[in-house]
Amino acid sequence: MEIPLAMLPQGSSVKVVRIVGGKGITRRLVEMGFIPGEKVKILHSDFSGPILVSVKDSKVALGRGIAMKIVVDGLGE
């Protein structure tokens, strides 16, 4: 099931499917490690404010608007 990263609960482990956005935001997210097939784990999310995720052995804080542009798959994996 494909869903925006921002919609998932804390503790979810998923894989990036694609980034929905312009060239600038896509390039920035790819540089941060959000590439198709990459595993991402949500470390902190309370459905308001930024979320904290782990990607490529790094912790990254993302605003909800940006996290909505990252489409992921694998809820419950």
What would the pLDDT profile of 9-48 be if each residue is shown by its tens digit?
A: 999 999 999 999 999 999 999 999 999 999 999 999 987 8
H-helix segments, 1-77: 23-31, 64-67
What are the residues facing 15 on neighbouring strands?
39, 73
Homologous superfamily of domain range 2-58: Ferrous iron transport protein A (FeoA) (2.30.30.90)
Measure the CA–CA gap between 61 and 23, rounded to whole angstroms. Answer: 21
pLDDT band at 76 (very low <50, low <70, confident <90, very high): low
Q: Based on the number of CB atoms within 10 Å of its own CB, is 43 exposed (0-12), middle (13-18) or buried (19 or more)?
A: middle
**pLDDT for position 48:** 82
**pLDDT for position 58:** 95
Query: If phi over 0 gives left and psi between -120 and 50 gives alpha, with beta otherwise, what is residue 7?
Result: alpha
**pLDDT for position 74:** 80
